[in-house]
Amino acid sequence: MESIIKLLKSHTSIRKFKKQPIEESLLLSLIEAGQSAATSSFLQGTTVIRIQNMETRGKIADLCGGQTYVGSAAEFLVFCADLKRSKSCCNKHKVEFNGDYTEQFIIATVDVALMAQSMVAAAESCGIGICYIGAIRNDPQKITELLNIPKHVYPVFGLCLGYPDQAPEVKPRLPLEVVLKNEVYEDLEDNALIEDYDSKIEEYYGERSGGGHGTPWTAQIAGLLSTKSRPHMRAFLAKQGFNFK
């Protein structure tokens, strides 16, 4: 148990990979391990698209703002929230499909995250590094067309996998006292704890190999949440059949 906890606490994102393939049987085993994650109501609402064609990967990398490791990783997977299979189940049993409710969107999306993270833990236990690529949502319509993704399915994120050719430092997380609450939500001491955390993040970026932007955590989050973030997503999801009733 101690080794599993140590593994999870040592997670880092890898963006530089060795030119070493992942054995086919191992890759399939990792995906199967991911499938064993919890799934709400046994929905199993995840489809994984494996991208081996390097031209396709290059197009995806461009759509993701030039993230070249999409192409240099040994494997690149696109994780999709999939209610199309659920619709087929309804059709088979001649009942109405109500997959456009917000709840169904939530459980399918959570299913994707749970499966991917279980797969990531399995991969890292085998010495394989990973990097999530949320930037596939920069232009989800083009990704959808490129990968022939049908209605009632949407791409949630990509995942690079490969043997690491770098050893980045572990990025400090928020203090446990900020994240863990007892009985009710209270944040009486959060401000002081987060001020201290800001200092630790600035120190981390100052000492990180390869340098860093030096921006404290609160400033990063303020920048993120004070600007429009992929405003096209709602219209895209509606087009894919996720109407949030």
Binned at pLDDT 50, 70 and 90, residue 190 comes out as confident
Q: Considering the chain, what percentage of its residues have pLDDT values greater than 70?
A: 98
Chain centroid, CA 104 distance in Å: 19
Q: What is the pLDDT of residue 14?
A: 96
Distance CA 86, CA 31 (A): 21
Q: What is the pLDDT of residue 161?
A: 98
Q: What is the pLDDT of residue 215?
A: 84
Contacts of 147 (CB under 8 A, 6+ apart): 49, 51, 56, 78, 155
Distance CA 236, CA 91 (A): 24
Q: What is the pLDDT of residue 211?
A: 64
Q: What is the pLDDT of residue 212?
A: 66
Binned at pLDDT 50, 70 and 90, residue 186 comes out as confident
> How large is the average pLDDT for residues 175-181?
91
> How large is the average pLDDT for residues 108-122?
98
| Chain mean pLDDT for the chain | 94
Higher pLDDT, 186 or 140: 140
Superfamily, domain 2-168 = NADH Oxidase (3.40.109.10)
Q: What predicted TM-score, i.e. pTM, was given to this entire model?
A: 0.94
Neighbour count for residue 120 (Cβ, 10 Å): 22
* Residues 56-95 pLDDT 10s: 999 999 999 999 999 999 999 999 999 999 999 999 999 9
Q: What are the CA-CA distances from residue 149 to residues 68, 80, 81, 179, 215 (Å)? A: 23, 9, 11, 37, 38
Q: What is the pLDDT of residue 207?
A: 81
Q: What is the pLDDT of residue 1?
A: 60
131 phi/psi in degrees, rounded to 5: -150, 120
Hey, where are the domains in the chain? 2-168, 169-245
Distance CA 63, CA 66 (A): 7
Contacts of 167 (CB under 8 A, 6+ apart): 12
Reply yes or no on whether the pLDDT at 209 is more than 70: no
Reply yes or no on whether the pLDDT at 148 is more than 90: yes
Reply yes or no on whether the pLDDT at 189 is more than 90: no
Sheet holding 75-82, edge to edge: 46-51, 75-82, 153-162, 129-133
Range in 65-69, 108-112, 138-142, 241-245 with the lowest mean pLDDT: 241-245
* Residues 97-107 pLDDT 10s: 998 899 999 99
Neighbour count for residue 130 (Cβ, 10 Å): 23
* Residues 152-177 pLDDT 10s: 999 999 999 999 999 999 999 999 99
Strands annotated E in 55-198? 75-82, 129-133, 153-162
Reply yes or no on whether the pLDDT at 214 is more than 90: no
* Residues 19-67 pLDDT 10s: 999 999 999 999 999 999 999 999 999 999 999 999 999 999 999 999 9
